[in-house]
Amino acid sequence: MGKSDLPQSMARARPPGHPALRAVLLGLIALALTLGSLLHRGKAPDRGDASKDALCTQADPLFPSSILRDELEGLYKSDPFVDQAAELLGGAVRIATESYDDNGPPDEDPRWSLFHDLHTYLEEKFPHVHSKFTLTKVNTLALVYTWVGTDPNLKPLLLTAHQDVVPVEPETVAQWVQPPYSGLNDGEWIWGRGTCDDKLGVIAQMISMENLISRGFVPTRTLILAYGFDEETGGKAGSFAIAEYLLEKYGEYSMSMIVDEGGGFGEQSGAVTAFPALTEKGYLDVRVQVDTLGGHSSVPPPHTGIGILSALLAELEKNPMEPTLTRTTPLYDVLQCMAEHAPDVPDALRKDILRSRTDNKALKKVGDEFLTTPLMRSLVGTTQAIDLISGGVKVNALPEQAWAAINHRIATDSSVGELQRRLEVLATPIAQQFNMSLTAFGKEVEDRTTQRAGVITLSEAWHSALEPAPRTPSDADAGPYHLLSGTIRATYRESASFHASGKDIVVAPGLFPGNTDTKRYWKLSKHIFRYDHLGATDAYNGAHTINEALRTKAFPDIIRYFTYLILNADESRSID
């Protein structure tokens, strides 16, 4: 059902978007810190040979061999560059490219007009990029930059980000330290909506390419930069159109690897750990509707439609899908990496984690240990949140219809079908209890052949169903994963944090709890990564909220990360 097909009451409601959840990115970094608090329970004894037969083997830091790297390192570490890069990001932030759930087509709705200003800004500030890349505008506002490499046998590298930002609630503007679209660099922070989500990705990639081109770089491998414009509302017009364009031009699985916004890094249990997401949760919005006979409130039935709906919703909340830690759960890989590489993990816990590789009792024990907090449970399992509800039109009239919308984020080892079947099972006894017919996702469960008090209908809302993302390979033969891991480790080796502490970075394959634009790109590559090299302390207050800001000195590290990634991919022959 499209919005135009919805009952009037539901059509008026703004559907929950499918946010990029950069807020959840920072929640994922909070996961790292939560893991740290669970893992760190006093000083650990010596690890001994705990990492024998390691499952979390680390790639060596991968530094580009190009002489351009040395030239650019001097630039990236200079104070004038830090200020210049901050101003380039700040200028993009000052263009308030907000996207709304109810936006019309990009060539019709005037609220899209500021995106044209952003396009002009990019053309003016990055002339080298626009002289070397061919720019194709897809569906009016989506940007696809292509620079054909000298070797046509190499698969392209696809880097993506998005132009749009979450709107700022007008009543919160006074709570911002700096105005939300100021783009101000105060020497410590770059302020404004988009500094963390996701203009930092667009501008960091552009700065990387501008600097490479100005120093004579010519790619061997084709480079593609793709920037959607409605990621914050699901990418139905932006990344969807980009995917269709690239599939038609290059074909299925034509990209060597895809890198989009996503995970970051943080320190816990004595280890600095990066979490590139190799998969994403699935998604499903469910509409629960109860239709009953109307009438005057002076002669009410024992239970109105609102009462029946309430009973059903209460039953669903009493019986959530219980999370289970399995060996295929992304969190399991994170725990393995912590057990192998974090020095402050207590010895007994480390042994349980390592033993769980082959011992089911140890696996259950580890699961019981970690699935005790709401954050851990939500990351591992399928979540449900009742977010919208409506019913009735007048206080003295019985409601003929009541409905609610439930948002689900589906565990990586589950499916849309499994969730739908569970909801059907939970709804069936409620329908029987109240003598209601039940239709669940197009199937008649409790028939209408006998006299019934009404109908309960479960249905997919807003064409929202999305299976969990295919998992990107990370085994010993996964060249793209090891290239990305080596790039992350090399990037961190050049950071001020590494030089100050001497602590190296561990790369742990993770997941992204939300959905990025990569959900449209599954057919373009089997090697999709979601990672931004954003540190846990480098965002002032997260994203999708007040006081979004990026630490000024962190931005060059993000630019370095993209520079190394581009050069390493160009030099590699192991990712095709």
CATH number at residue 441: 3.30.70.360
My answer on whether 449 and 382 are in the same domain is: yes
Residues 382 and 248 in one domain: no
C-alpha to C-alpha distance for 192 and 210, rounded to whole angstroms: 24
Q: How many percent of the chain have pLDDT more than 90?
A: 85
Of 190, 167, 213, 9, nearest in space to 88 by CA: 190
> For position 4, what pLDDT does the model report?
32
The answer to whether residues 216 and 309 belong to one domain is no
Nearest CA to 238 among 160, 166, 139, 158? 139
**Which pLDDT belongs to residue 269?**
87
What is the rounded average pLDDT of the residues 432-442?
96
- Asked if 506 and 417 sit in the same domain, the reply is no
Kindly indicate the confidence band of residue 448, based on its pLDDT and cuts at 50, 70 and 90: low
In a domain, 523, yes or no: yes
- CATH number of the domain residue 114 falls in: 3.40.630.10
Residue that terminates a domain, selected from 407, 426, 460? 460
Residue 49 included in any domain: no
Residue recorded with tokens 């263009």: 95
Are residues 292 and 276 part of one domain? no
Average pLDDT over residues 328-357: 94
Q: Please pick, among 98, 164, 352, 413, the residue that the annotation labels catalytic.
A: 164
Q: Is residue 19 part of a domain?
A: no
- For 223-242, the pLDDT digits (tens) are 999 999 999 999 999 999 99
With tokens 């851990």, the residue in question is: 376
Please tell me the predicted confidence (pLDDT) of residue 55. 84
Residue 477 has a pLDDT of 81
Each residue's pLDDT tens digit, 109-167:
999 999 999 999 999 999 999 999 999 999 999 999 999 999 999 999 999 999 999 99
Q: What is the pLDDT of residue 236?
A: 94
Task: Give the residue-averaged pLDDT of 326-348.
Answer: 94
d(CA 195, CA 179): 13
pLDDT of residue 46: 38
Split at pLDDT 50, 70, 90, the class of 432 is very high
pLDDT of residue 449: 63
Q: Which residue in 98, 230, 231, 570 is the catalytic one?
A: 231
The pLDDT value given to residue 433: 95
Question: Do 273 and 222 share a structural domain?
Answer: yes
- Find out whether 73 is annotated in a ligand binding site: no
In the chain, the number of structural domains is 2
User: Are 513 and 562 found together in one domain?
Assistant: yes
CA–CA distances in Å: residue 413 to residues 345, 373, 410:
27, 20, 8
| Same domain, yes or no: 146 and 67 | yes
pLDDT digits (tens, 9 = 90+) for 30-88: 454 444 444 544 333 333 333 346 789 999 999 999 999 999 999 999 999 999 999 99
For residue 11, the model assigns a pLDDT of 38
Q: For residues 86 and 80, what is the distance between their CA atoms, to the nearest angstrom? A: 10
CA nearest neighbour of 201 among 570, 561, 506, 514: 561
Task: Taking residues 540-546, report their average pLDDT.
Answer: 89
Does residue 477 sit in the same domain as residue 413?
no
Residues 245 and 304 in one domain: no
| Contact by Cβ (8 Å): 278, 529 | yes
pLDDT band at 476 (very low <50, low <70, confident <90, very high): confident
In a domain, 44, yes or no: no
Q: Are strands 505-507 and 383-391 parallel, antiparallel or unpaired?
A: unpaired
Average pLDDT, the chain: 91
162 is in an annotated binding site: yes
Cis peptide before 477 (omega within 30 of 0): no
Given a cut of 50, is residue 447 above it in pLDDT? yes
Residue 231 bears catalytic tag: yes
Strand 223-228 vs strand 142-147: parallel, antiparallel, or unpaired?
A: antiparallel
Q: Give the pLDDT of residue 15.
A: 40
DSSP 461: -
Residue 197 CA to residue 27 CA, distance in Å, equals 14
pLDDT of residue 163: 98
Q: Is 107 annotated as a binding residue?
A: no
Residue 13 pLDDT exceeds 50? no
Report how far apart the first and last C-alpha atoms of the chain are (Å, whole number): 40
pLDDT, average across residues 239-257: 98
- Helix (H) / strand (E) element for 568: namely helix 555-571
Whether 576 is in a domain gets the answer no
pLDDT at 9 over 80: no
The predicted model gives 177-200 an average pLDDT of: 97
Would you tell me the crossing angle of helices 22-39 and 330-341 to the nearest 10 degrees?
50
The SS3 of residue 543 is coil
The proportion of the chain whose per-residue pLDDT surpasses 70, expressed as a percent, equals 90
pLDDT band, very low/low/confident/very high, at 350 (cuts 50, 70, 90): very high
Asked whether residue 268 falls in the same domain as residue 285, the answer is: no
HEC-encoded secondary structure of 314-369: HHHHHCCCCCCCCCCCHHHHHHHHHHHHCCCCCHHHHHHHHHCCCCHHHHHHHHHH
28 within a domain of the structure (yes/no): yes
Point out the domain boundary residue: 427, 460, 493: 460
Residue 423 and residue 305 share a domain: yes
40 within some domain: no
Identify the domain boundary among 460, 483, 510.
Answer: 460
Containing structural domain, residue 299: 3-8+281-460
Contact of 142 with 226, CB cutoff 8 Å: yes
pLDDT at 535: 95
The answer to whether residue 14 sits within a structural domain is no
